[in-house]
Structure 1
């Protein structure tokens, strides 16, 4: 049995942090990328943290190449990339959003995962190990909402991107499996930000508050556990799994 290695974005909090801790508990190796630092409960030499701002697209390929050089690829049985990091803001009508705000959201939530995917596939194409990419999606990618244009558009883009890559990979000798995973509404900082907005700026803040107060948010631990189950399943690379539970 070889080892399993995972590159995960957004490991400093929320779902990304829970994913890293669960995988470390299983004995896997995790390479976390986040703008902030990561304080892992499962502090172990199997976790390495890379502090990097995914808004800076120009250095991503070099970062992925650098991370993969630290992985003993010959021993790898499974190499995964989990594109989890995303940005919720700007949460306001589009005519109040600046070019900088729109650009930053699209870079972090859509362009960065695309470049990470490109680099990951390119730098692992020579391997025989099983490879899998999980793109963390959202119901917002299918259901439009006022004041959430950038976030919804990024997530819709992630869904379409996932399907395109699955098609590209379907004829390859060692295809990369790729799935989009929709965690449902999860109790993370993104939700807290949405609840904290004024109704005049973000019309849905009240709805987010009601969902929270009714105890309908899923825990990041549950979601991380489910994501790992989906990732471990052998999925047909030509089919995208949308997990709509929760």
Structure 2
């Protein structure tokens, strides 16, 4: 298989890259830095790039993927949590930064790949259950992921030969959880307390431990209508 993943330096993207490589797949990873354990993998190809630098994406990606004519799975994983605050406390500049990473970088990447004539079999936009029903403090993240859900739905209608899914991976320990762990105002943000309590328990595995189940879920999601939302815990 030929797998393209954004955000492979840590977290879910890193765990998925490890698991796909262990299964003999060829993996193309895009992230701002390369994980040390992936650097020596013969089947891992890495492009050091900030996905929000759209000019650099347009300039560097075609050559990087020149030998990759078919993409069995494109996993749009790169994302940020953004500020955990009430929406009234978040300015539009902060919102735009979250939207740039979680939404617009994915649009730029998709448009470029389709313009290059790549045969893309499945696109997975890494989403969250918070995109369906948010809680206090989750506004920027929830809004951006809700937009990502719709982005997947729109592209599904416009590219019927590719299967799209907005995919919630459930609880996975990652850099986002590190941010959540350090938030003290748990009485103000109820979801934070729940996540803090789940960390370091079997309810929140690390990305490597979760990878096999995530891959199973993404493959199972192909049975759903293209452009739908899926939660790995319900597949």
Q: TM-score, normalised by structure 2?
A: 0.87
Task: Tell me, yes or no, if the aligned pair for 2:129 and 2:231 is still in contact at 8 Å.
Answer: no
Match of 2:28 in 1: 31
Closer, same or farther: CA 5–149 of 1 in aligned 2, 3 Å? same
1:40 is paired with a residue of what secondary structure? helix
Structure 2 distance, partners of 1:202, 1:59, is 40
Task: Tell me, yes or no, if the aligned pair for 1:38 and 1:49 is still in contact at 8 Å.
Answer: no
2:233 is paired with a residue of what secondary structure? coil
Structure 1 distance, partners of 2:83, 2:17, is 27
Closer, same or farther: CA 167–222 of 1 in aligned 2, 3 Å? farther
- Give the total of aligned pairs: 232
Closer, same or farther: CA 63–230 of 1 in aligned 2, 3 Å? farther
Among residues 195, 199, 212, which one is paired with 1:208 in the alignment?
Answer: 195
Among residues 53, 56, 61, which one is paired with 1:59 in the alignment?
Answer: 56
Q: Which deviations, in whole Å up to 9, do the C-alpha atoms of 1:49-105 show, x marking residues without a partner? A: 21111222333233332322143x3xx4x5321100110021112333244322211
Confirm whether residue 224 of structure 1 aligns to residue 224 of structure 2: no
Structure 1 distance, partners of 2:184, 2:100, is 26
Match of 2:169 in 1: 183
Q: Which runs of 5+ in 1 are unaligned?
A: none
Among residues 100, 105, 129, which one is paired with 1:107 in the alignment?
Answer: 100
Task: Tell me, yes or no, if the aligned pair for 2:217 and 2:232 is still in contact at 8 Å.
Answer: no
Confirm whether residue 245 of structure 1 aligns to residue 233 of structure 2: yes
Moved more, 157-166 or 201-210: 201-210
Task: Tell me, yes or no, if the aligned pair for 1:166 and 1:237 is still in contact at 8 Å.
Answer: no
Match of 1:69 in 2: 66
Q: Which deviations, in whole Å up to 9, do the C-alpha atoms of 1:135-155 show, x marking residues without a partner? A: 111011111121221100111
Q: Which runs of 5+ in 2 are unaligned?
A: none
Measured on the aligned residues, the alpha-carbon RMSD in Å equals: 2.5
Q: Which deviations, in whole Å up to 9, do the C-alpha atoms of 1:156-186 show, x marking residues without a partner? A: 111111111112222xxxx111112111111
Confirm whether residue 141 of structure 1 aligns to residue 128 of structure 2: no
Confirm whether residue 17 of structure 1 aligns to residue 14 of structure 2: yes
Quote the offset at 1:211 in angstroms. Answer: 2.4
Task: Tell me, yes or no, if the aligned pair for 1:91 and 1:202 is still in contact at 8 Å.
Answer: no
Match of 1:93 in 2: 86
Q: TM-score, normalised by structure 1?
A: 0.83
Structure 2 distance, partners of 1:111, 1:35, is 17
